[in-house]
Structure 1
Amino acid sequence: MADSRPTPAASPTARAGIALGALGRSLGGPAFEAITAPPIARAGAALATHAARLWGRVLGGEERREGELHVITGLPQWAFGRGGTTVGATYLTRASDSPDVLEHEDVHRQQWERYGLWFIPMYFAAGAEGTKNRFEIEAGLEKGGYLPKDGSARRERRRSTGSEAVRAGERR
């Protein structure tokens, strides 16, 4: 039976994020620089960090510090997206806290610091498909668990593309 849940792009939050991301791109130049200026971005990231830490504590998570990243584990699966979510400088997860994942999530922390609260619509606007989302690519797809660490997905893709080309040539 097909999954009837709406795709992230169909949710009202995602639609709003995409619209705000498009607005941010259209503003460009001085307007975008003003809303992502370091003092404003840092204040937004700090607000997001405190809200996420509160969320994690309310849900009974265990908090520890890994460098500049607050890591909260032991949360229910519904409390975050995918294997975990970074909000500000806080990473929320059930148990996905390997060194590679934390390195990936620390890049998201840096993105939050760079863009502040504007990171939310920019992330949604970058797309729900992790392997095509520019923020996930910057954070490292393999370390984030989007691709196998050995690069086998890339080899497999090349192999299947090549065999499809051969089959297409045979049909001519």
Structure 2
Amino acid sequence: MKRSHGVTMIRASRGNPESAAITRLALAYARLWGARIAFDDEFGLFVCSGMRGGYARGGTTIGGAFLTGKEPARSLLRHEAVHADQWATYGWTFALRYLFEESRRRGARNRFEIAAGLADGGYRDS
């Protein structure tokens, strides 16, 4: 893994200092769950795989870090990179916005999931 600071952290957090702080917390959290952390250069995302738990569905993006139990497909990383962009856009409030949207429109109907690409995220059209 590259260092979680400097150029790599700036890239993962899309240059947003608030997203960088969120990403640092996510990386520490992922380590507690036994993650192997690597940086994906193509999508500018930390991939925290091999976690014993601590994430939702097939994985969860927090800031510029994708937390999951297995090695993700390239298409899934493309999807999760959009969520990292959403974290950079909305900062801390993205979590609340996402959860509110999920309470109204679950899964494939969630506007944040639609924006990230349903097929890449493994969603079926409903």
TM-score (structure 2 length as normaliser): 0.80
Distance in 2 (CA, whole Å) between partners of 1:144 and 1:96 is: 14
- Quote the offset at 1:108 in angstroms: 0.3
- Quote the offset at 1:96 in angstroms: 4.8
Instruction: Report the equivalent of 1:162.
Output: none
TM-score (structure 1 length as normaliser): 0.59
Among 46, 61, 68, the alignment partner of 1:70 is 46
- Quote the offset at 1:55 in angstroms: 0.9
> How many residues end up aligned between the 2 structures?
108
Identity %: 36
Higher radius of gyration, 1 or 2: 1
The answer as to whether partners of 1:108 and 1:139 remain within 8 angstroms in 2 is: yes
The answer as to whether partners of 1:63 and 1:72 remain within 8 angstroms in 2 is: yes
Equivalent residues in 2 for 1:28-47, closer than 5 Å: 42-47=16-21
1:131 equivalent in alignment to 2:118: no
The answer as to whether partners of 1:83 and 1:96 remain within 8 angstroms in 2 is: no
- Quote the offset at 1:84 in angstroms: 0.1
- Which runs of 5 or more structure 2 residues have no equivalent in the other structure? 1-14
- Quote the offset at 1:48 in angstroms: 1.1
More helix by share: 1
- Quote the offset at 1:62 in angstroms: 0.5
Distance in 2 (CA, whole Å) between partners of 1:89 and 1:62 is: 15
Distance in 1 (CA, whole Å) between partners of 2:81 and 2:68 is: 14
Amino acid at match of 2:120: K
- Quote the offset at 1:113 in angstroms: 0.7
Instruction: Report the equivalent of 2:83.
Output: 108
CA pair 63-73 structure 1, distance change in 2 beyond 3 A: same
- Which runs of 5 or more structure 1 residues have no equivalent in the other structure? 1-40, 148-152, 155-172
Distance in 2 (CA, whole Å) between partners of 1:88 and 1:72 is: 12
Amino acid at match of 1:133: N
The answer as to whether partners of 1:43 and 1:116 remain within 8 angstroms in 2 is: no
Aligned-residue RMSD, C-alpha? 1.6
Question: 3-state SS of the aligned residue for 1:65?
Answer: strand
Question: 3-state SS of the aligned residue for 1:126?
Answer: helix
Instruction: Report the equivalent of 1:49.
Output: 23
Question: 3-state SS of the aligned residue for 1:97?
Answer: coil
